[in-house]
Amino acid sequence: MAKRTAPPSKAVSAGTREPRRRATVEVTSGPARVDRRTKDLTKRLRPGDIAVIDHEDLDRVAAEALARAGIAGVVNAAVSLTGRYPNGGPLALATAGVTLVDGVGSHVMELVAEGQDVRLDGGEVWVDGVIVGHGVRQDEASLRTAYEAAKETMGEALESFAANTLEYLRDGHDGVLESPELPDLAVDMRGRQVLIVVRGFDYREDLSHLRSYVREIKPVLLAVDGGADALLEEGLRPHVILGDFDSVSDSALRCGAELVVHSYRGGDAPGAKRLEELGLAYTTFSPTGTSEDAAMLLAYEKGADLIVAVGTHVSMVEFLDKGRAGMASTFLTRLKVGQLLVDAKGVSKLYESRIRKRDLVFFLLAAMLCFVVVVVAVFPRVFLESFWLLVREAWRSLTH
Give the architecture (CATH level 2) of 2-148.
3-Layer(bba) Sandwich (3.50)
Confidence check: pLDDT of 5 > 70 = no
pLDDT digits (tens, 9 = 90+) for 344-385: 765 655 555 555 556 666 767 776 676 666 655 655 665 566
CATH topology (fold) of 179-350: Rossmann fold (3.40.50)
% the chain with pLDDT above 90:
42
**Domain boundaries of the chain, sorted by first residue:** 2-148, 179-350, 357-389
Question: Quick one: pLDDT at residue 379?
Answer: 56
pLDDT of residue 360: 61
Per-residue pLDDT reduced to its tens digit, 302-331: 999 999 988 877 666 666 666 565 566 777
What pLDDT shows up at residue 312? Answer: 79
- For the entire predicted model, the pTM comes to 0.66
Structure confidence at residue 142 (pLDDT):
92
How remote is the C-alpha of 173 from its chain's centroid? 29
Q: How confident is the model at residue 337 (pLDDT cuts 50, 70, 90)?
A: confident
At 236, the pLDDT band (50, 70, 90 cuts) reads: very high
